[in-house]
Amino acid sequence: MRFSLYTEMQLHEGKTPEQLYGEVLEQIQNADRLGYDCYASVEHFFFPKFSISTNPTALFAAAAQRTQRIRFRTMLHALPYHNPTVLASAIAATDILTGGRYEWGVGRGHGWIPEKAGVPLDEHARPRYEEAVDLLFAALGNERFSYSGKYYEVADSHIVPFPQHKFRIFLGGTSDRTYELAAEHGWGVAVPPLLPYKALEQQLDLYRDRCAEHGNEPDIVWIHACHLDPDRETALREARDWVTKFIYGNSSPLLEYEKPAADDLNKAGYGFYAAGIMEQLAEVPFEQLVDEDYVWVGTPDDIVERIEETRQICPGISEIGITVNAGGAPHWMAIKNQELFASEVMPRVPEVVPVGAAKAA
C-alpha cells in the first residue's frame, strides 16, 4: 500500500499566492522526511478558491531540489489546454528535473474551464480529447512519430528530450469513458477527493470489469480530505472550518461565476456539471460530510477504520491519498495532519490484498 498527499492549492481569504506556494513547498519537504510515497497536485486554471495550481511541473521541479525520495504527480494534466506534443516534451523535461521521480495523468479538466480558456464546448470535445491522448502517447512512446487524425496532423516529428523509461499513468474524472479508457490501457485511476464510494460505485465496477477483460490489474488511488487528532472532539472542532471551505471551494466555479449553459455542457460530455451535484454538495452540513464518508475526520483509530471499510467495498485500491491543506487550512494544521497520519495510521494499514482474493472474499 502506497500513501500520498494531494493538494488543489485552494486560495481562500487570508493568504497570498506567495504564502500558499511557500507553505506547500515546506509541506512537500516534510512529507519526504515522513516517508510518504508521492505528492500530487491538480492542474487547474481561472478559479482561485478551487485552485491556483496552474503549473505543477514548475512546483515539482522546485520541490525536487529540497527532497530526496518522494515522487511527484500531476493529477491531472488538463489536456484540452495543451498541445499534446509540446506537453510530451514538458513531461520529459520535468522527469529530468525531478531526478526520475515524476508521475502524471491526463484528463479533460472541469467543465467550467473551457469557456474561460476560449475552448469551444461542443460535440467535438470528447473525440478531440481522445485523439489528443493518442497523439501524446505516440510522442512519448516513439523516438520518431507521425500522426494523422481528424484534429491533429503531424509528419515525422520527435520530442526532445526523449524519456528514457516508462511512466506510471493515471486518468481521473466522473464519466464512464474515462474508466473504460484507463482499463483498456492498463492505467490507474484517481478517485475525485470529495465523493463517497457510492457516488462512483458504477464507474469503479466498470473499471475493474474492463481491467479483467483486457488482462490488466486495477490501480486505484483513493483520495479523501483528512483531519486527525488523538481526541475526536478536537479533530471535529479543528476540521469544521477548513473542510467546509474545501467543499465550497470545489463548488465555487458554479456558485460564484456565471455557469456554462446546460445544453453546452451536456453536448460536450460534461453532464455531471449540469446536474446540480456540486451546488448541492456545498449545502451538505459538516456533520453529514463526516458521517457519510465524504471526508475522514477523527482519531487515528477512526481513520484506520474508515480506510479498511473503504478497502473492503472497493477492491483494487493500491494507494491512499489524503488532502490536508485545502480550504485555507493553517500551515501548522496541515503539518500536524501529515505527522499524525504518517506516525499513527500508515504503519497500521496492511498491505494490499490481491484483487482476485478480495473479490473471492
Residue-wise pLDDT tens digits, 12-67: 999 999 999 999 999 999 999 999 999 999 999 999 999 999 999 999 999 999 99
Indicate if the pLDDT at residue 360 is higher than 50: no
Largest pairwise CA distance in the chain:
63
pLDDT attached to residue 296 = 97
- Per-chain mean pLDDT for the chain: 93
- CA–CA dist 77, 273 (Å, integer): 19
Report the C-alpha gap between 77 and 87 in whole angstroms: 9
Reported as a single tens digit per residue, the pLDDT across 205-232 is 999 999 999 999 999 999 999 999 999 9
Cα gap 238→337, rounded to integer Å? 11
What is the residue whose three cell numbers read 475526536?
232
For residues 323-344, give the mean pLDDT. Answer: 98
- Look at 193 and 68; give whichever has higher pLDDT: 68
Closest to 106 measured CA to CA, from 125, 88, 127: 88
Phi-psi region of 170 (alpha: psi -120 to 50; beta: other; left: phi over 0): beta
pTM, whole model, 2 decimals? Answer: 0.93
CATH of the domain at 126: 3.20.20.30
Burial 226-253 (b: 16+ CB within 10 A, else e): bbbbeeeeebbebbbbbbbbbbbbbbbb
Q: Which helix (H) or strand (E) holds 61?
A: helix 56-64
Does residue 356 carry a pLDDT above 60? no
User: Beta-carbon neighbour count of residue 202 at 10 Å?
Assistant: 11
pLDDT > 60? residue 354: no
Q: Provide the domain limits for residue 167.
A: 2-360
Q: Which residue from 138, 137, 111, 136 is spatially nearest to 125, judged by alpha carbons? A: 111
Separation CA 131–CA 138 (nearest Å): 11
Q: What is the pLDDT of residues 175-184, one digit of tens each?
A: 888 899 899 9
Who wins on pLDDT, 192 or 237?
237
pLDDT of residue 230: 98
Q: In this predicted model, what pLDDT tens digit does every residue of 279-312 receive, in sequence order?
A: 999 999 999 999 999 999 999 999 999 999 999 9
Count how many domains the chain has.
Answer: 1
Helical spans, DSSP H, in 107-147: 113-117, 125-141
Which residue has 512519448 as its cell numbers?
A: 140
Is pLDDT above 70 for 77?
yes
With a cut of 90, say whether residue 164 has pLDDT above it.
no
Q: Could you identify the residue written with the cell 446546460? A: 262
CB 39 within 8 A of CB 67: no
Q: For residues 164 and 258, which has the higher predicted lDDT (pLDDT)?
A: 258
Find out whether 296 and 239 touch, Cβ atoms under 8 Å: no
Mean pLDDT along residues 97-114: 94
Q: Which helix (H) or strand (E) holds 39?
A: strand 38-41
Cell readout for 253 is 466555479
Confidence bin at 351 (pLDDT 50/70/90): low
pLDDT score of 128? 95
- The dihedral through the CA atoms of 174, 100, 56, 221 has a sign that is positive
Chain centroid, CA 277 distance in Å:
19
